[in-house]
Each structure stands twice: as C-alpha cells, then as structure tokens.
A and B are shown apart, each in its own frame.
Chain A
Amino acid sequence: MAAIAVQSLSKSYQGVQAVDGVSFEIREGELFGLLGPNGAGKTTTISMLATLVRPTAGTAQVNGHELRDQDAVRRSIGIVFQDPSLDGDLTGRENLDFHARLYRLPRAAREARIAEVLRLVRLEDKASMLVKTYSGGMKRRLEIARGLIHRPAVLFLDEPTLGLDPQTRRNIWEYIKALNRKEKVTVILTTHYMEEADALCDRIAIIDQGKIVALDTPAKLKAVLGKDSISVEVADPAKLAKVLAKEKWTLSLAGGRLAIGTSEGAKAIPRLMRLAAKAKIPILSVDLKRPTLEDVFIHYTGHAIRDERADGRELMRQGQRLWRR
C-alpha cells in the first residue's frame, strides 16, 4: 500500500488554479519532496492532504484512508506548518503534553513518548523552559517532535527550514533523516531550497504553477540533463584530445581548454590524469561541473526557482516570521 496516493487533485481559489490536477504516489517509509517556488501550490497540496483545505476536484488516500474520512486521516498524520504554531507561554514539555492529550495518548504512554521525542530532537534539557525563550531552530525541532508524538504514519513538513540559518538548517536535515529512519515514518516535505531537496529526499516532485512537471530521484532528475562536464586546462588542448579520442567521452575545445562530457565525471578524472601522464602532457588544472537540481528546474519550467519576487504579503510574512523566531 502506498503511504499517500493522489489522483488528479485540484484546488482553485476564486478562479485561480492553485493546484492543477496533480497525481503521485508516495511509498511507505519514503522521504518525499515537493520542490517549487513560492506560490507553486506546495502548501495547498499539503493542506488538502492534511484535510485542512477541501479539494475542488480529485481524490487522495492517506495511509489508506480517503480524505473525506477526516478523523482517520488526521490520526494518521503529523504536520509541521510553515509558520510557527507553538504556544510560547507554555514550556516545551507542556506543548508536547497538550498535543499528546489532544491525540488521546493513554496517560501511561504519554510521558515515555514525550521523553522519547524530546531525545530524538535533543531538547531534553530545554523541555522545562518557556517556548518563547527558544531559538528558531529549537522551536522547529520542538514542532517536529510534536508532530511525531502520536506515531503518525506520515509526517508533513511544510518548508521545515524556512528562515533558519545555514548551520541550523543542516542540523534540522539530520533530525529529519534520523526520524525517517528511527521512527519509520513516511515524510513528505515541501521546500524551495534546491540543496535541501537534493540532500534529503529519496524522490522529488518538481511543482510549478500548480502542476507536477517532473518526478524522480534527485540522481535521475539530474541525469536527464545528461552529463557531467570536465574542463581541463592544458598547454595544448588539441594534443590531449587526440590522446583521449579512444574514450567514450565527448570532447570539445573551447577558450584554450578541453571540455569533456561524460556520465561519471568523478571517475573520469583519475583516468584522464593517468592517460595524460602516460602521454607526458602536463595538466595545469581540472574543473568538474555536475548538473544541479537548479539546472533541472530551469530545464522543466523555463525559469529559475528564485526568479519570482516575493510580493508584499510574502515579505510581511517573512518579516513577521523573523520577529517571531
């Protein structure tokens, strides 16, 4: 059974198609990413799957339950919203306790489970502090822990590292990977950070203007763009090209350098060095370029992901978020 199955899900707001007939399946235990710019329909998609927004058309099953079976779906999922949703006037532990009670965890299981998720995100020491004294990263971790308390089959993370500094972001990635492994929970996250999708996700759906334009593993998505490119700085590029002519590489001369196209750049470099040494051609420098998800995104959508300017409302929201964290 798929953890999530989505068939032609659509949502329009006053004639604007926010999500336009998306279909996909997420396997159990998978770490799945929805990658796209702001306004692409990621949050709307997640909100529909979390039963917070009613779809205009289409169906979906979460953990085997139809969306209209609201309570069954809700029991199956945990969610970390894009904007903070903690009670700052309660302590970390109290926030978790509130959640555990709301999800009707039996009293006996409650404390042990709260201790367990606190350990998972390393907040044991801070559990008795008021949440308003937490840093942005700590708040995020607490929210992730909270989403896991009732042992959901699926955990939704909406822009889990938005507004966090790079160090904290990497930190959060580690926690997400760990919980996916230790808790065996299927994770679906949205992000507009390429490196985040690349570093974390087993598979990625690229979503733009409400439609999924590509869906595959990060490696396969990048492979679509073909090859790695090695640029070699050498005194006589033509001479080196002749030596390498027998390899299954595409060779081209450009700007006094030799450009080599190959599917596995990292493995080609040592071979290239050996062949050049044998022919006694001194190589001055080597530069390897691999296609990034950014390139993949541009390939499918025709524009860069950071192209769009944040509109006024989005800017305000980001400001608010900074202030809150």
Chain B
Amino acid sequence: MGTIDTIWLREMKRFVRARSRIVGNLSMPFVWLVIMGFGLSSSFTLPGVPFSYLEFFAPGIIGMTLLFTSIFAGISVIWEKQFGFLKEILVAPASRTAIAVGKMAGSVTVAMINGLLLFAIALLMGALPLAGLSAAGVAAALVCMALISAFFVSVGLILASRLDNMEGFQMIMSFLVMPTFFLSGAFFPLATAPGWMQALAFVNPLRYGVDGLRGSLLGVAELPLVVDLAVLAGAAVAATLVAGYAFRKIRL
C-alpha cells in the first residue's frame, strides 16, 4: 500500500474540496433525466418495454454520469502534467504501477460517488421503482457501476498518457464520449435500432453497462445479466492493464 493510499487520499481531498464541482458533475445528468425523462415519458411508449420511458432512461443516465466523471477523472492527469505535479509524483521512489493503481482507485471512487448520488436522485424522483429493487439487484448494479468506472477511468488515463495538452479535448468529446453515450442504449432500445448501429453498440462497453444496470434494477434487459457483467469485467481488466502500461511509459 503506502503509495496507493497516498495517491487515493489526495484524490479524495481534491474531490471533497471541490464541492461546486460535485454539483456541476451532477447537474447535467439531472437536467437530462428530468427534461428528457419526463418529457419523453408522456409522449412515448417503447415497443416491447414493460415500463415507462423515465424508468427505461434512468439506468442510462446513471451510466452517462459514470462515463463522464470516469473519463474526466482519468484525463485529469493531463492537467497534472501541465501544472507540474506529475513530476513530483514520478520522481518519488515509488512504483509506477502503484501510482497508476492509486490514481485509478481514486478516480473510480469519485465516479462511483457521483453515480450513487444520481442513483439516489433517481429513486427520490420516482424515476426508478423502489419497490422492484432487490438486495441482489442492487449488489449487481454496484458491480456494474464499478466496472463501468474502471473501464472509462482507464480510457481517460490512456488518453492522458498520450496527450500533452487539452487541445484534443473537443475531439475526444465529439468522437468518443458522446457517441459512446448515444450508442449505449441509454435513450432507445438497441434491439430495434438499424443494423449498423447495433454493430457499433456491440463493441461499446457502456452498452453492456447500461443493459446490466437495467437488468439488475428493473429486471428486464436485452442480454442476460451474466453476459453483461462478463463482457464488462473483461473490458475493464483489459483497459486497466493497458492503462497501467501506458502510465509506466509516460515521459515528461
């Protein structure tokens, strides 16, 4: 330990200190949930889905919150490169792997807190049926959330280890983050989507995340929960290994 909890502790301190950022992190998914959720709920019923659009949408928004906060937490290493703090960390007699693990653990924790807060908001709003929740379902949802976070934190870290500044940030938003979100099945069932979209969604880990959240929280999903969790776990482990490797190779 030592190194890992030191890095983790710093992430926590920064997170707690930036209270306005917590509100900022949650404001967008909240607005989406309220406006899109309630708005579309009153005008659409989804084919083959036995619950309201709002209920269908809520797990997607939890996935979105995790996607955004995870990728940004990972990519924040670029700032650390720029404002020099990364040097202070990398010159220490500590293992790079431990540093990367600490960073990932901190970022996953932050993303999970955000995800759980949104989960709570969704429950309070009645966007998720409280009555339908089971202990096993919630446990499965938590595992799902942790795996989604681990995967996207790793993606953020990989990007950060390759980039030296935030110039490419808009590109990452437009061509990576938003498509990942839109093609995750958060908005609409993928089963009835065009074939090319299904093909893209097939390789989108968030799709399995959102589906897994639906399966565990609503009891209805496109894929069996086991499949969702297995795919997510595989993707998360692979991404974590690549991120660890990329982080070890960072040159200042």
Could you list which residues of chain A lie within 8 angstroms of chain B, going by C-beta atoms? 50-52, 70-72, 74-75, 79, 81, 83-90, 94, 98-99, 101-104, 146, 324
CA–CA, A84 and B82, complex, Å: 10
CA–CA, A116 and B18, complex, Å: 30
Q: Which of the listed residues B3, B90, B92 has the most CB atoms from chain A within 10 Å of its own CB? A: B92
In the complex, which residues of chain B have a beta carbon less than 8 angstroms from the beta carbon of A98? 6, 9-10
CA–CA, A155 and B131, complex, Å: 63
Closest A residue by C-beta to B94: A102
CA–CA, A45 and B5, complex, Å: 33
Q: Chain B's nearest CB lies how many Å from the CB of A52?
A: 6
Contact with A along B86-97 (1 / 0, CB 8 A): 011111111000
Q: Chain A's nearest CB lies how many Å from the CB of B10?
A: 6
In the complex, which residues of chain A have a beta carbon less than 8 angstroms from the beta carbon of B89? 102
CA–CA, A104 and B10, complex, Å: 15
The answer to whether A81 touches B6 (Cβ under 8 A) is no
- 10 A–B contact pairs at CB < 8 A? A50-B91, A52-B252, A71-B93, A85-B83, A85-B87, A87-B10, A88-B83, A102-B89, A102-B92, A146-B88
The answer to whether A90 touches B14 (Cβ under 8 A) is yes
The answer to whether B13 touches A74 (Cβ under 8 A) is no
Total residues of chain B contacting the partner, CB 8 A: 22
Closest B residue by C-beta to A75: B93
7 additional A-B pairs beyond A75-B93, A86-B84, beta carbons within 8 Å, are: A50-B91, A83-B84, A87-B85, A89-B18, A90-B13, A98-B6, A102-B92
SS class of chain B's interface: helix, strand, loop or mixed? helix
CA–CA, A70 and B2, complex, Å: 19
In the complex, which residues of chain B have a beta carbon less than 8 angstroms from the beta carbon of A84? 83-84
The answer to whether B91 touches A103 (Cβ under 8 A) is no
In the complex, which residues of chain A have a beta carbon less than 8 angstroms from the beta carbon of B85? 85-87
In the complex, which residues of chain A have a beta carbon less than 8 angstroms from the beta carbon of B84? 81, 83-86
Q: Chain A's nearest CB lies how many Å from the CB of B209?
A: 30
Residues 56-110 (chain B) with a chain A CB within 8 angstroms: 83-85, 87-94
The answer to whether A79 touches B2 (Cβ under 8 A) is no
Q: Chain A's nearest CB lies how many Å from the CB of B35?
A: 32
Q: Chain B's nearest CB lies how many Å from the CB of A248?
A: 54
CA–CA, A51 and B251, complex, Å: 12
CA–CA, A314 and B121, complex, Å: 49
Given A52-B87, A52-B252, also A89-B17 (CB < 8 A)? yes
Given A81-B87, A85-B84, A90-B13, also A102-B252 (CB < 8 A)? no
Residues 1-45 (chain B) with a chain A CB within 8 angstroms: 2-3, 5-6, 9-10, 13-14, 17-18
The answer to whether B91 touches A74 (Cβ under 8 A) is yes
Q: Chain B's nearest CB lies how many Å from the CB of A70?
A: 8
